[in-house]
Structure 1
Amino acid sequence: MATVSVVAGAIPAVRPGHDENQIRAVQTWTDALLRRMTLEQKVGQLFVVSVWGKAADEVHSMNRATYGVDTPAEVVRRYQVGGVIYFNNSGTDNVDGPTQLASFSNGLQRAALASGARLPLVVAIDQEGGNVTRVEAPATEYPGNMAIGAGRSAADARTLASINGHELRAMGVNQNFAPVADVNSNPLNPVIGARSFSARPDLAADLVAAEVRGYQASGRATGTVSSSAKHFPGHGDAATDSHTGLPVISRTAEEWRAVDLPPFRAAVAAGIDSIMTAHIQFPSLDPTGVPATVSRPIMTDLLRTEMGYQGVIVTDSLGMQGVREMFGDAEIPVLALEAGVDQLLMPPNLTLAMDSVLAAVRSGRLTEERIDESVRRIVELKWKRGILARPLVNVERVPALVGTPEHLAAVQRLTDRTVTVLNNDNGLLPVRSPATALVVGVGDTVNPAKSPTQLASHLSASGWTATALPTGTRPAEAKIADAVAAAQSVGVVVVLTNNLSANVAQRTLLTKLLETGRPVIAVASQVPYDAGFVRAPTWVATYSWRDVSLRSLTKVITGEIAPRGKLPVDVPDGADPTTVRYPFDHGLTW
């Protein structure tokens, strides 16, 4: 993996601790860099954009439609952007696998180094674990954050983040928009849920800090990644998805300090490289009611001045409705910079966004010094993580570094400590003798057949005779009838649920299977709040439908391991949210 030299003289070495001499050296280096750069190049560094395709030189019609050029490399060269972000098949279809992604990253970095700015890219991704996973097997997959909260181990959180970070860096990804620092205090939160570690600020804070240290600690040849705590000032109490609307958080400022602030404060204390904004209204923190992303009282007065945070602030996607509800696409980037933000993520119209910022500088609304301030933070992030000196990765080494047996075993061990048994009234668990089983329901909502099929396969590998009958997110009456009929001839029925609060048909399926009188194991495969909507003698929470979680579930069902997870949230009664059916810290074992 060759070292790549960039402009402005020799890049100061990165050594553990970043002592004052190193910091002064990189500041001097950055001063020289800024003097060389044009205003257009500086503004380009502020933007992190999505590109379409799986290779730097792949022609894709969406690049032409969005950017006026054909390939990802041409996007980088034309606009001289500071970063790109990858999505899998649910978005820009960038990911085929680890080796492909490493080649893609190298191609984009070479394009950046060949551009006028000649600065390597921040290559970003959302690899949180659980349902927000962009790179799947053969890379190591991870359970959702709430599973880590159920495991209660800061050491496990740090291990997971370290493995995740080093695998991402091997693939050429150097910034992970994780961990989620939101405290999921609203059980009906439509967008955070199991992405949060806990509803308790102290537990969430401990695990956020552990993951920051895991991502950003040094010590391996593949380097480390920047982490990003999200979504400031806290998305956990939202009742609206900010992708589609503008949530309003009604907490008082005192409640915010007690509930939402601690994980972000812990992230700052742990040395977090970046913090992502939330597109939410928080009237007690900014009475004007503008989204937090464009709020100077929140981004500068609270985050920078009061909390002392001097790292990079990055917006959530500027294509989300939460930030576009009140302002147009030309105004949003300027308002965000005025508020104190540095990185502008995924503007829906890049040319418009860049031109708006340039016009604001030329008119005097923004100063070039203000732009320099953000570029300096971004460049120093790239220096700290070794991106400036070593932007390229060794593609041939990827299979030896990603999805290794050691990584897979370590993540399996920590996931084994997260499964939580909420109810075992009839003593059904563990089922120590191999049984005939029917696995129904849904886990992965993108591929509804996947989770029941995987679980049936794992049970069969344990000596059971297991059949999968995937019923989907909203099973039709005929599918429910098929499941009820199939249940009559098996010893155990396992029902995977996902978000019963919004899916009445799933509740009907579970209820009708319970009415058959067959032994039923109900499994909340995403949020544990499902257990509040249907009373079942046996309820288990896995917080994730990833294969690693289904393997741990299999071990608990068959008695190979005892459950060790403890609820990281209160599970309220679905019919009466003021009543707690399963309290925080609840979890049965044997």
Structure 2
Amino acid sequence: MALLALATLGLTVPAVPAAANPAPSPVDSALARMTLPQKIGQLFTTYVYGNDANTPSAADAAANRRLYGVDTPAEVVAKYHLGGVIYFAWTNSLQSPRQITTLSNGLQAASAGVPLTISTDQEHGVVSRMPAPATQFPGGMALGAGRSVLDAYRTGQVTGAELRAVGINQAWAPVADVNVNPANPVIGVRSFGSDPKLAAALTASQVLGLQRGANASASAKHFPGHGDTATDSHTGLPVITHTREEWQRVDAPPFKAAIAAGVDAIMSAHIVVPALDPAGDPATLSQPIITGLLRGELGYRGVIVSDSLEMAGVRQKYGDDRVPVLALKAGVDMLLMPPNMQVAYDAVLGAVASGELTEARIDASVRRILTLKQKRGLLAWTPLDPAAAERAVGSPEHVRVARSVTDRTVTAIRNDAGLLPWSHAGKSVLVTGWNSSAYNNVAVLAGALGATPLVTNLPNDAKIAEAVAAAGTHDLTVVLTSRAWDTTVADPGGRQQALVKALVAAGKPVVVVAVRDPYDIAALPEVTTYLATYSFTGVAMESLAKVLLGTAPPRGRLPVEIPGTYPYGHGLSWSVP
């Protein structure tokens, strides 16, 4: 109307320039360049064999040839137009910052214009893939014992910085499951604990540490919540019997907190939750859970990734050719580790050809994956400097952070006779019990205490007799246990229980320390001095030594209940000089 009024008055109407077409975003440009086979490749993240992208060992080349029909990791990436690669020690012989960085550079060079997400399970504690000198933290439940959101943030920040330094841009962490089942064989100490509010706060903080603090993608797992099961989804199909109200109260809060923190990815669980989907499909393949609940009710807009498709929990009901298609139909974006890459790739391609999946559906997932890559700067990726990685990984400052965090996690649960802190002047100590070959925790603790180490990993009668005899020549025995409550596992808890009972019966002072699940004391009623570290890493053993010797007080509090024994929040402390 204003322009018309100007014209009727005989005034010149200025020409209005045409709106300039905005430049396409990097995501739009990348998507527009892709063929359908390339788009489908973007959906897959899998492992490749070899510690170098182009010159694998003969054994690694044979493994790649058997699985993928080509010899080198770079050729696997190129053949399937992979969207991502996941690292494991057993596939990539992870050895050093320089080697890992060189591998990452080589894989990215093979990715033909769309850089890879390179990922690994760096939860810390019992699930940690980065080798020394990478900084080690004690894991989720230890952070729960420490109760510090700042420590959770700093753990994520240091972890993300070291991962990014070697070319790993996506961490499969944090674990957002609320561990309310002491018999849980697969989550346990990977969880922050049994309190949903605590788990939510620490989940959000670790997401922010990884993403805001280090520009590494976080992945909250395992939706809709794997914390209340006695079945391992690697070997079976767990059924979670929570009602919808229980799910809202117990399982949902950490995922809601992760979404509020802007988490890049959420990993699905291979579990059945009848209250959320009565069809009996695992959550990974459940449209009501993935699209209805996670996308719809919770409003999540980021990448949804499946847990490993090699796991039994997702393979029991459908064949390997149907699982990836059904996962995409359910709403999953990223397909992790199919057991047969060619079968999975061809199945998705065939589903588009038949009309079961539309190309628009594929585009939606690829767009989310590319958006994640753009957010983390991967679409403008440049090669990394292996020398810079060597300086960053395991730096003195990072190690100081890890020690500070871990010092706040050791939990004293029982000290009936006032044995601790130990007055050690002129006295000898024996350290024995369960030992991790990866961390040699018995030797590390013994070294920190100036004590004698005696490994009795699978204590038969002869080993128990040897330990009792050695204890008789020392003033104090420290016994490390790991899942001693569980008499069904390969390392039978019953033998650990027998070791502890024999040492206590010998009459010399004994301190028992659970270096994994804190629940061991429920199976060891004769023990009067008991601590929990939730972790057998070297840094956890160093913090434990400080508590035993009285140079630092125990500061942790139980982040779970020990049923019938000690309540959530229990924790002793004492003053130190």
TM range (shorter): over 0.9
**Structure 1 residue 145 and structure 2 residue 135: aligned?**
no
Cross-structure match for 1:156? 151
1:79 positional shift: 1.0
How far 1:27 moved relative to its partner? 6.9
Deviation at 1:475? 1.4
- Within 5 Å, give how 1:108-187 maps onto structure 2: 108-112=107-111, 115=112, 118-187=113-182
Give 1:150's aligned amino acid.
Answer: A
Residue of structure 1 aligned with 2:461, choices 477, 485, 497: 477
Give runs of aligned pairs for residues 412-451 of structure 1, distance below 5 A. 412-434=403-425, 435-444=427-436, 446-447=437-438, 450-451=440-441
Q: Tell me, what secondary structure is at the counterpart of 2:82?
A: coil
Deviations 1:211-246 (A, max 9, x none): 00000015xxxx521000000000000110000000
Query: Does 2:551 align with 1:560?
Result: yes
Equivalences for residues 110-509 of structure 1 within 5 A = 110-112=109-111, 115=112, 118-218=113-213, 224-434=215-425, 435-444=427-436, 446-447=437-438, 450-460=440-450, 466-472=451-457, 474-502=458-486, 503-509=493-499
Conservation of the 8 A alpha-carbon contact between 1:54 and 1:101:
yes
Matched letter for residue 70 of structure 1: D
Contact 1:442-1:496 within 8 A present in 2 as well: yes
Q: What secondary structure, in the 3-state scheme, does the structure 1 residue paired with 2:218 have?
A: strand
Which amino acid letter does the alignment assign opposite residue 586 of structure 1?
H
> For the aligned residues, what is the CA RMSD?
1.3
Q: Does 1:64 align with 2:54?
A: no
Match of 2:3 in 1: none
Gaps of 5+ in 1: 1-23, 461-465, 573-578
Partner Cα distance (1:287, 1:532) in 2: 36
Partner of 2:571: 587
Secondary structure of the corresponding residue to residue 490 of structure 1: coil
Q: Say whether residues 1:513 and 2:514 are aligned partners.
A: no
Q: Kindly provide the amino acid, as one letter, of the partner of residue 452 in structure 2.
A: T
Contact 2:27 2:367 in 1 (8 A): yes
- Corresponding residue number in structure 2 for 1:105: 104
Q: Secondary structure at the match of 1:286?
A: coil
What is the CA-CA distance between 1:451 and the residue it aligns to? Answer: 1.3
Distance 1:66 1:134 in 2: 22
Of 134-143 and 545-554, the range deviating more from structure 2: 134-143
Q: Secondary structure at 1:226's aligned position in 2?
A: coil
Letter in 1 for 2:463: K
Which residue of 2 is the match for residue 576 of structure 1? none
Residues 435 and 456 of structure 2 are in contact (CA less than 8 Å); yes or no, is this contact kept in structure 1?
no
2: distance between equivalents of 1:358 and 1:282? 30
State TM-score, norm by structure 2: 0.92
2:69 corresponds to 1:73: no
Contact 1:443/1:525 (8 A) holds in 2: no
Give the secondary structure class of the aligned counterpart of 1:148: helix
After TM superposition, give the deviation of residue 388 of structure 1 in Å.
1.1
In the alignment, the residues of structure 2 paired with residue 136 and residue 407 of structure 1 have an alpha-carbon distance, to the nearest angstrom, of 15
Please identify, of 52-61 and 122-131, the stretch whose mean Cα deviation from structure 2 is larger: 52-61
Q: Does the CA contact (< 8 Å) of 1:443 and 1:526 recur in 2?
A: no
Q: Deviations over 1:392-421 (max 9, x none)?
A: 322111122110111101110110010000
| Secondary structure in 1 matching 2:86 | strand
Unaligned runs of 5+ in 2: 1-20, 487-492
How many angstroms does 1:380 deviate by?
Answer: 0.3
In structure 1, what is the Cα distance between the partners aligned to 2:340 and 2:277? 28
Q: Residues 34-64 of structure 1, C-alpha deviation per residue, up to 9 Å, x if partnerless? A: 2221100000000001011211113312111
- The aligned residue for residue 3 of structure 1 is none
2:131 is matched by which residue type in structure 1? E
Distance (Å, rounded) in 2 between the aligned partners of 1:189 and 1:67? 35
1:248 positional shift: 0.6
Aligned to 2:466, what secondary structure does the other structure show? helix
Q: Secondary structure at the match of 2:125?
A: coil
Q: Which one has a bigger Cα radius of gyration?
A: 2
Hey, what does 2:33 align to over in structure 1? 36
Aligned position for 2:4: none
1: CA distance between counterparts of 2:312 and 2:92? 22
**Cα distance change, pair 25–278 in 1 and its aligned pair in 2 (3 A):** farther
Tell me, in whole angstroms, the C-alpha distance in 1 between the residues paired with 2:33 and 2:255. Answer: 35
Counterpart of 1:178 in 2: which secondary structure? Answer: coil
Q: Could you tell me whether the CA contact under 8 Å between 1:73 and 1:108 is conserved in 2?
A: yes
CA distance in 2, matches of 1:32, 1:427: 68
- State the secondary structure of the residue aligned to 2:380: coil
The whole-number CA distance in structure 2 between the counterparts of 1:391 and 1:298 is 38
| Alignment partners' CA distance in 1, 2:33 and 2:74 | 23
Hey, which bits of structure 1, 4+ residues long, moved more than 4 A? 24-27
SS of match in other structure, 2:446: helix
Q: 1:26 to 1:533 in 2, by over 3 A?
A: farther
Counterpart AA for 1:370: R
1:524 to 511, 514, 530: 514
- Per-residue deviation at 1:25? 7.7
Please tell me whether the aligned partners of residues 26 and 374 of structure 2 are also in contact (alpha carbons under 8 angstroms).
no
Q: Tell me the distance in 2 between the aligned counterparts of 1:360 and 1:139.
A: 43
Identity of aligned residues (%): 54
In 2, the alpha carbon distance for the partners of 1:30 and 1:168 equals 24
Distance 1:26 1:234 in 2: 42
CA deviations 1:262-288 (Å, max 9, x no partner) are 000000000000000100011110000
The answer to whether the Cα contact below 8 Å between 1:86 and 1:94 also exists between their aligned partners in 2 is: no
Residues 365-374 or 94-103, more deviating: 94-103
Partner AA of 1:111 in structure 2: A
Amino acid in the other structure paired with 2:567: P
After the TM superposition, which of the residue ranges 69-78 and 261-270 deviates more from structure 2?
69-78
Give 1:433 shift. Answer: 2.5
Pair 1:49–1:440, CA change in 2 (3 A): same
TM-score w.r.t. structure 1 length?
Answer: 0.90
Distance 2:562 2:247 in 1: 22
Q: What secondary structure is seen at the aligned counterpart in 2 of 1:129?
A: coil
Are the counterparts in 2 of residues 212 and 227 from structure 1 also a CA contact under 8 Å?
Answer: yes
**Aligned residue pairs, count:** 542
Structure 1 distance, partners of 2:22, 2:142, is 42
- Tell me which residue corresponds to 1:7: none
